Amino acid sequence: MMKLHYLELNDNQLTGHIPPELGKLTDLFDLNVADNQLEGPIPDNLSSCTNLISLNVHGNKLNGTIPHAFEKLESMTYLNLSSNNIKGPLPIELSRIGNLDTLDISNNKISGSIPSSIGDLEHLLKLNLSRNQLNGFIPAEFGNLGSVMEIDLSNNHLSGSIPRELSQLQNMFALRLENNNLSGDVMSLINCLSLTILNVSYNNLAGVIPTSNNFSRFSPDSFTGNLGLCGYWVNYSCQELHPTERGTISKALILGIALGALLIFLMILVAAYRSHNPTSFPEGSLDKPVNYSTPKLVILHMNMALHVYEDIMRMTENLSEKYIIGYGASSTVYKCTLKNCKPVAIKRLYSHYPQCLKEFETELETVGSIKHRNLVSLQGYSLSPSGNLLFYDYMENGSLWDLLHGPTKKKKLDWDTRLQIALGAAQGLAYLHHDCSPRIIHRDVKSSNILLDDDYEAHLTDFGIAKSLCISKSHTSTYIMGTIGYIDPEYARTSRLTEKSDVYSFGIVLLELLTGRKPVDNECNLHHLILSKTANNTVMETADFEITATCKDLGSVKKLFQLALLCSKRQPSDRPTMHEVTRVLRSLVPSPTPAKQCSMAPPPPLPSSKSPCYIDEYANLKTPHLVNCPSMSTSDAQLFLKFGEVISQNSE
C-alpha cells in the first residue's frame, strides 16, 4: 500500500473520518473520496503526500477549516473541497500551490475576504468560491489570472465594484457574480471578448448595459434584479432612471442653447469663407474616407474566386443570426452558400487582434497554404475593425463532440467508424507536427475541433490559431491555451509547449471515442477514471455500448485503450510521436478486403517464419523495454495486463 498511486473511493457510503494515516502514502497521486458521508476535519497529515496531484472530497459532511499545511502540496493541480461544512477564512497558503488549475471550494461556510494573493495562481483555469459567506471586495489581482476560463463567486456577500482589471482576462468564457452586493457598472467586462456566460443578477449594479462586443450574447436574465441598470436588455430607459432637479435642467438647457447658437454662427462663417476660397482635393479622395473603407476579402482558394466582401454580407444578410451554426469560446460560426452553390463556414472572431494584426495575417497566409485531406482548409479571410472573418471548408456532419455528446445524436458510431475517425484526426495532426515547414503545434486538440464530412472522415480544424514551431522545438507562453480536460498537465505546470502537448490531448480524444464520455463531466475526470479502472483491469466496463455491440474482437478495443493511455503519460518524453500513433492506428483499422470482424488483418509475414503479433506496433515507441511480445496463444486479457506495466508508470 505504501507505493499506492491512485485511491478512488468516491460514490460509496463511507462514514467516519478521513484517516490521518493516509499521509503515509507519500507516492499517492490521486485521492478521491467524493460523495460519501465522511465527517470531521481534513487531516493536516495529507500535506505529507507531496506527490498528490488531485484531491477530491466533494459532497461529504467534512467540517473544520482548510489546512494551512496544504501549501506543501506543490504538485497539486486539482483541489475540490466543495459541498461540505468547512468553515473559517480562505487561507492565504492556497495561493502558494503554484500548479493549481482547478480550485473548487463552493457550497461551504467559508467566511472573510478573498485573499488578493489568489491572483498569483497563474495556471488557474477554474475558480469556484460560490455559495459561501465571503465578504469584502473582488481582488483587483484577479486580473493576473491570465489562463483562467471560469470564475464563480456567486451567492456570497461581496461588495464594491467589478474590478476593471478583469478586462485583461481574454481566456475567460464564464463569469458568475449573481446574488452579491456588488455596485458600480458592468463596463469593465465589455473587453472580455471570450465571455459567453455572464450572470450579475441580484446585485446593486447601476448604469447602462452595453449592447456591443460580447454583450450581444447575453440574455436579460444575466442582469435582472439590479434596479440601477438600464438599457436595451432590461427594457428600461436610462433617462427614466436619473431624474434631475428642475433648476439644474434649466441651467443645462440655457447653456446648451448658447453653445448651439455659437456653433451655428461658426459654421456659417466657415461656409462663407470656403465659398470664396475653394479647397482643391486630390482626384477621388472625397469618395475614399479611410475609416469607412470596405473590408478586403483575401482569397486563398479557387472555390471563393470572383467573390468580394459585399457578396458575403449580402448572402448572409450581414451575418444574420439565422445563418449561425455554432458558437465557440473565441468565435461565432456561420454557414454561407457561395455563388457556385458550395457552402463555406465563416468564423467570426470575437477578438480583433489590434496589436498584432500583421503577424496574424502572416500566419493566416501560412495556414492557407497547408493542404491535407484530414485538415480543414482555410479558403480566405477578411481582417478589419468591423470584425475578423475566417472562411473554412464546410463539414456536413458537424464535429465529433456533437456526435458523441450533442443533444441530437443523428448517427450511432460503430467501431469501424470510430477507428477511421481516430486515424484521420491522427494523420492530420501528424502532418502538422512532422511534414509542415515550419512545423505547427495545434494547441487545442479536442473533439469539437475534429469535423466530419459526408463520409464521416475526420478533418482537424482551428490549427490557424497555432503558433509556428521554431527551430528550438518548444515554445514558452505567458498563459495557457487549450480546453479544460484536454490540457497536458506538464504544459499547465511549466508553460512549456511541445508537440507532445498535442499528443496528450489526442490521447484524451481517444478515450472520448472509446467511452462516449466527456473529458470532464461534473466532478468526474475521464482520464483519472480510466487510470483507476486500469489498475483493477476493469477498463472494458467503460467502453461505449455501440462499440461492444459492433466489434467482435474486443482485443482491438483494449489495444486502443492502451494507446490512449500511452499518449497521455505524465512525462512528455514517454509519449509517442504522432507518426508512431498513426502507425499503430493503421494496424488496428480493418483490411479493405471483405472481413466480418473488426480486428486488424495480420501484417505481411516477415522473412522469419514466425508471424509478428500486434504488440510489435509498439516496438518503436518510447518504452520498448517494458513491452514484451508473448506467444500468439496468449489471451488478449493477458496482453492487456502486461501492457499495464507501461500504464502503471503513467505518472512517473
CA distance 623 to 627: 7
Catalytic residue among 444, 462, 502, 544: 444
**Contact between 595 and 601 (Cβ < 8 Å):** yes
CA distances in angstroms from 537 to 103, 265, 510, 541, listed in the order given = 31, 89, 18, 9
DSSP E strand boundaries for 137-285: 150-152, 157-161, 174-176, 181-183, 197-199, 206-208, 228-230
CA distances in angstroms from 5 to 51, 52, 56, 239, 637, listed in the order given = 9, 9, 15, 63, 23
Question: Of 500, 516, 385, which Cα lies nearest the Cα of 445?
Answer: 500
End-to-end CA distance of the chain: 17
CA distance 305 to 195: 35
**Contact between 502 and 441 (Cβ < 8 Å):** yes
CA distance 647 to 627: 11
DSSP state of 83: S
CA distance 215 to 209: 8
Known catalytic residue at 444: yes
Q: Is 384 exposed, middle or buried (0-12, 13-18, 19+ CB in 10 A)?
A: middle
Cell of 454: 459526408
CA distance 307 to 246: 58
The residue count for the chain? 652
**Contact between 517 and 542 (Cβ < 8 Å):** yes
**Contact between 134 and 86 (Cβ < 8 Å):** no
CA distance 213 to 349: 11
Strand pairing of 181-183 and 388-393? unpaired
- In sequence order, what are the beta bridge partners of 160? 182
Q: Coil, strand, or helix at residue 493?
A: helix
CA distance 632 to 387: 61
Is residue 642 annotated as involved in ligand binding? no
CA distances in angstroms from 292 to 279, 296, 384, 385, listed in the order given = 22, 12, 10, 10
388-393, strands of its sheet edge to edge: 298-299, 378-382, 388-393, 343-349, 331-337, 324-327
Q: Coil, strand, or helix at residue 103?
A: strand
Per the annotation, binding residues for ATP are 347
Q: Which residues are part of the catalytic machinery?
A: 444
Residues placed in the known binding site: 347
